[in-house]
Each structure stands twice: as C-alpha cells, then as structure tokens.
Amino acid sequence: MKDLQPKGLPATAAELAVATPEGVIFRLPLAGPAPRLYAMLLDTAIVLSAVNGLGYLVYWIFAKVPGLGAMTITLAEFAIGFAYGALLEGFWNGQTIGKRLFHLRVIDQSGLPLRIEQAWVRNLMRVFDALPFAYLVGGISVLSSPIMQRFGDRVAGTLVVRETPLAAPTEEAWNNQKYNSFTMYPALTMRLRGAATPELAGFIQDALRRRNELAPYARREIYRDLVAYLQTEITTFPDELVEMLSDEQYLTNAADVLFGNHARREFTVGTRR
Amino acid sequence: MILDLQRFQAQERPCWTKLESLLVQLEGRPDRRIKPAETELLQELYAQTAADLNRVTHGALAPELRRYLERLVARAYAELYYASPTRSELWQPRRWMNIFRSFPEAFRRQSQYFALAVTVTILGCALGGFAVRYDPASVNVLLPADYLRNPGLRVRQEENGQGRHLDSAQIEAAFSAQLITHNIEVSLLAAALGVTFGIGTALLLFENGLLLGAVAVRYTQQGFGLFMTAWLLPHGAFEIPSILIAGQAGFYLARLLLRRREDRNMRESMREWLLLIAGLAMLLVWAGLMEAFFSQHHAPVLPYGFKVAVGLAELALLTIYLLLIGRRDPRAEALTSGLAGNQ
C-alpha cells in the first residue's frame, strides 16, 4: 500500500505538507482516528434517526400495503446509508454534519477540495473498511498510514484534515506600553532574554493573554509565583524597582523584553516595505 | 533576516483581511465558480499572502501567525487551483440520465477484466462440479444447507407449496428489497476487494462459482436439472452477470492500484469504477424483483418451460444491452477521429 501514498510530500504523523507551484509549503493538520470516530458515530445517529422518522411516515402512508412499505423502507435505508456521506461530502465541500461539528473536512490529498466521484468512491469503499466488524480494517489502515488514510481514502486519493477556526493574532498588550523600566538595566534585561526558555516565555505570554479568563484570586497567585520564580531563578532586578511594580506590570515588562518592541529593536534588519 | 513582527503584521493585515473576506464569499457559493475579475484579485492576494507565509516561516518565531497564514494560503490555493466541475461530470443530472448508455460502454471498455472474472468463476464451478460428481463426501462440505443437499425433498416441498414462505405479494415485496440490498452489498464488497490487489475479489468469485457448480451438478445428478434451471435462471440471468461485473470492477481497481502513480488517470478511473457499480446495482434491482415475485413460483402454477424461456429472453436482452447499447458506428467514429486529427 506504500505505493498509494502521495510522493514528494513531506508528511509527518500529524500533518501533511503541500508544496504549491509557487514554491510555498503549507501544512495541513491531519485528523486522528478519535475525532473521525466521533463524527462517524454522530453521522450514524443522524442517519438512523432520519431512517426511523422516514419509516414511521412510510408505514403510515402504506398502512394498507405493509409489504410495499417494508420494501420502500429497506431500500431507502440502504440508499440513505451510502448516499448520506457521498452526497454531503461531495456537495458540501468535504463535510458531513458530524464532520462539520467536529471541525473535520475531507480533501484531495493534493490539498484541493475533493470531487464528487472521490466522495462516492471513499463512501462505497466503507463495505471493505467496515470489515470484519466496527471498522477494524479501516482503523488499522488509518493507524498504519503516515497520512492517516483508511482504504477508501487510499483508493479515492483523499484524506481528512482538522479545521479548527483560526483568527489573525491580535495586538499584544505589552506592545502598547511606551516605556519599559527594565531597560534601565540592560545587563539584567539581556540575562532575562538569554536565560528564559521558550516554555517559560510561552507561559508568561499565556498568563498575560488569559488575564480576563482567570479569577482575580487565581490571577494574583499565578502572577506572584511567576514573578518570584523569575526573580529567584532567572534574573534579579533590584528591589527598589520591583517594589514599585505590580506583579502584572513586572510580567508585562518581561513579555515586552521577550516578544515585544524591545526584543527586536536591537536586532531588526528590515522588512519588505 | 529577523522580522519586525509588529510592523509586518500592521502592514500586511489589510491584505489578509481582504483575502479572508473574499474566501468566505467564494466558499459560500454552491457551484464554486469564480468570475475572471475575482480570479485576478484572488491570485494577487494569494501570492502576497504566500510570500508573507514564507517570510514568517523563515524570519520569525510566531507559531500562531504562521498557522493562521498557512490556513489562509491553503484555502486560497484550494479555490485557485480547483477546476470547477464541468458538464461532463458524473454528478450532473444529464449525466445521471446517460448512465443507461454509459454503463455498457464502460463494461465494453473494460471487457478484459470481465473475462478474468468469468474465468475465475468457471474454475470455481468446475471444481465444485467435479468434487460433487466424483467425491460424494464433499457434498456435506460444499453444500451445507439441507435444501441444497437434498434436491428431491426441496422440489417436492416447492411444488406442493410447503416450502414456499412467500404466500402473498406483500411478503414478496419485502423479500425483494432484502434480496436487492443483500446482493448489492455482496457485489460492492467484491468490487471493493480489488484493494487487496484482486486477491479478495478472486476468492469471492471462486467461492461463488464453487457453490454454483456444486448445486448444478447435485440437482442434475438427481434428475432435477430442469427444476433448478427454472428456479435459478429468471433471476440468475441478471444476478450472476452482476456478480461477474462486480468482479470486473474489482480486478479493474486492482490493476489501477498496481500501476505506477504517474500512469494513473485517477479521475477517469474512478468514474469508470463507479459506472460499473451503478450499472450492476440497476441489474440487481431487477434480479431481486424477479427472484421474489417470479422465481419462487413453480409448476404447476408456472410451467418450467415458461420460466426457462423467460430467463433465456432476459439473458438475450441483457447481452444485447451490454454489447450493443451506446456502440457508435465505426465509420462515423473514423470520420470524427479523422476530423480531430486534421485540426
């Protein structure tokens, strides 16, 4: 099955990298088996509810000819079972209701939207992926594929990606302050920049960004602990400065040193315009 | 180069916002068609955003911004490079109406895989037939169902109406739906098993042939050949070719997967595979109706000669349909290709 994987696309366990003709590489996060299973269970529930609802209607319409009613409902159940996924994915840009709710999308493995015939092929191939029970074959295929394809996806040349909503990063608060008292101590500032690990820097960033999500008591505790840690383990600013600053202001200054204008002022070479 | 992230974002944000709103507008269109002016704008914004992504990737540690730009570039790329479906696409309603003609055309184009499916089934039939003929002990293994092992008993029950569980048109209707869905599911599995490089398809066809050969010889040996033919032919005339076409689709898929990636025309191939599946599903609807409403009635209600004649007529019609429908006049085709060659 190795032969079925797209060539020339550097893929990792969690992402597919697509190289565009313009030479730009973008990465698409792949959907793991768990969200795909949840989406499938939800879709199955929707199909079963639709079929049951239809069943009541059909039995009511064909009350005097129950055999014809049974025939209609059996055929409709069968057709809906296959057509639900194929039609929705084909006409709704790779999403069923379950996939939309779990932020999943089926796409062509070249990064383009899938075509209707691909949607049909991957859904008809479910008869094989569902073998011998509970999608065991399909599940093994997903786990063994570097781009998490079940057999239906391998044949149709499709894959399932995660699509969590993203917004452009907003302006950070620490960029808005005009003066940073830490810059009075260049050596200590340099030490802070050099000694802070990316994890610690990220932690400070998160703590400030989530300011309004935290309860006042929790915020005070977290900020105080962070300041204490920075003062004792990373760099010790003079007491006369620290006493003048609130914990939040201390962290804002530190974030400005690590990420903000003061972090780049000395190193910026230039931008395009 | 180290990027002044703040200045960079402030400069480029209007472009990203514009691209995002254009994408929202385009993605909301069900037909996904783009006007020429929109294409131009999209191309321009895409190129700029792609360049921005490159700069962020190589010039700054800004994972969130990078993810955002990647998403934006991916969406724009999808809109820009996705060729909108044309009239000849399978999903077009007109195309669906053409399926009655397109299916036999696809069947003929891939006839070599049908021949392979027939060969595997005949091998199975031969083995099943020989086993029952020369090794009576194999009957218990090959024909586990009692009604297949004891043709005499079965024929008596059927002719007296004791074995007939279909006592009304109502039950027959429900039974036909079960037969249709079951047969389509089995055929679909045979076609999908092509993904095992055809091994699964071949095994399924062989097993089917084995059972068919064993039943045929068992019934004929005990003098019930006519009963069996009249019993199986009216629906078998469509059902057996359908499973063979499923095998054809399976072998076609296997051959496709064995080809080098660059030699595959996936779009065309998928359409071909789907046409074969759609065609066999149509045939199986008819086979299911015949099996439930016609095949289960025996002499004296329906004389065996009449049932066999109906079966043979169906077989003849199916052969004509598969071999002749959609066939173009070779002279007209030569003329068309000649004209195309001159252009």
* B177 shares a domain with B52: no
Domain that holds residue B200: 94-327
Q: Which of B81, B114, B142 is the last residue of a domain?
A: B81
Nearest to A24 among B53, B67, B68 (CB): B53
Statement: residue B88 has pLDDT above 50: no
* B99 shares a domain with B63: no
The pTM of this model reads 0.78
Banded model confidence at residue A21, pLDDT cuts 50, 70, 90: confident
* B99 shares a domain with B75: no
Contact B274, A120 (CB under 8 A): yes
State how far the Cα of B41 lies from the Cα of B79, in Å rounded to an integer.
Answer: 12
| A258 vs B335 pLDDT, higher one | A258
Rg (CA), chain B: 29
Q: Which of A115, A137, A145, A256 to mutate to test the interface with B (most CBs of B within 10 A)?
A: A115
Structure tokens given for B318: 């199916």
Do strands A104-108 and A15-19 pair parallel, antiparallel, or not at all (unpaired)?
unpaired
Q: Which of B23, B53, B81 is the last residue of a domain?
A: B81
- H helices present in chain A, as ranges: 33-61, 66-91, 97-101, 116-124, 126-129, 136-144, 151-156, 186-195, 198-209, 216-229, 239-244, 247-258, 261-265
* B268 shares a domain with B227: yes
B298 occurs within a structural domain: yes
- H helices present in B135-198, as ranges: 139-142, 146-149, 151-160, 169-192
Using CA atoms, how far residue B25 sits from A168, A229, B44, B120, in Å, is 18, 49, 16, 54
B87 occurs within a structural domain: no
Q: CB of A25 within 8 Å of any CB in chain B?
A: yes
Determine the distance in angstroms separating the CA of A65 from the nearest CA of chain B, rounded to an integer: 7
Q: Which of B35, B57, B81 is the last residue of a domain?
A: B81
Domains in chain A: boundaries: 2-162, 173-263
Determine the distance in angstroms separating the CA of A88 from the nearest CA of chain B, rounded to an integer: 12
Contact A260 B62 (CB under 8 A): no
Which of A179, A155, A170 has its CA nearest to residue A205?
A170
* Residue that the structure tokens 């009576």 belong to: B136
Residues 200-259 of A with CB under 8 A from B: none
- What does residue B202 show for φ and ψ, rounded to 5 degrees? -65, -40
Using CA atoms, how far residue A256 sits from A203, A250, B54, B114, in Å, is 14, 10, 25, 72
Q: Which of B26, B77, B256, B264 to mutate to test the interface with A (most CBs of A within 10 A)?
A: B77
B135-157 confidence digits (pLDDT tens) = 888 887 787 776 677 777 777 77
State how far the Cα of B50 lies from the Cα of B313, in Å rounded to an integer.
Answer: 64
* B320 shares a domain with B173: yes
Contact B168 A67 (CB under 8 A): yes
Q: CB of A156 within 8 Å of any CB in chain B?
A: yes
B89 occurs within a structural domain: no
Banded model confidence at residue B329, pLDDT cuts 50, 70, 90: low
State how far the Cα of A49 lies from the Cα of B112, in Å rounded to an integer.
Answer: 44
DSSP H or E run through B107: helix B99-109
DSSP H or E run through A25: strand A25-29
* B271 shares a domain with B125: yes
Nearest to B253 among A72, A155, A264 (CB): A155
Banded model confidence at residue A172, pLDDT cuts 50, 70, 90: low
Tell me how many domains chain B contains.
Answer: 2
* B302 shares a domain with B214: yes
Collapsing DSSP to helix, strand or coil, B214 comes out as helix
Using an 8 Å CB-CB cutoff, list chain B residues near A76: none
Q: Which of A5, A16, A28, A74 to mutate to test the interface with B (most CBs of B within 10 A)?
A: A74
Query: What integer pLDDT is reported at residue A255 of this predicted model?
Result: 84
Q: CB of A70 within 8 Å of any CB in chain B?
A: yes
Contact A90, A101 (CB under 8 A): no
Contact B203, A100 (CB under 8 A): no
A212-261 confidence digits (pLDDT tens) = 778 888 888 889 998 999 888 888 888 888 888 888 888 888 888 877 65
Collapsing DSSP to helix, strand or coil, A167 comes out as coil
State how far the Cα of A145 lies from the Cα of A236, in Å rounded to an integer.
Answer: 51
B20 occurs within a structural domain: yes
Statement: residue A191 has pLDDT above 60: yes
* Residue that the structure tokens 């499973």 belong to: B243
B257-306 confidence digits (pLDDT tens) = 888 776 667 778 898 999 999 999 999 999 988 888 888 777 677 788 88
Using an 8 Å CB-CB cutoff, list chain A residues near B254: none
* B303 shares a domain with B245: yes
Query: What integer pLDDT is reported at residue B6 of this predicted model?
Result: 73
Which residue of chain B comes nearest to A110, CA vs CA?
Answer: B78
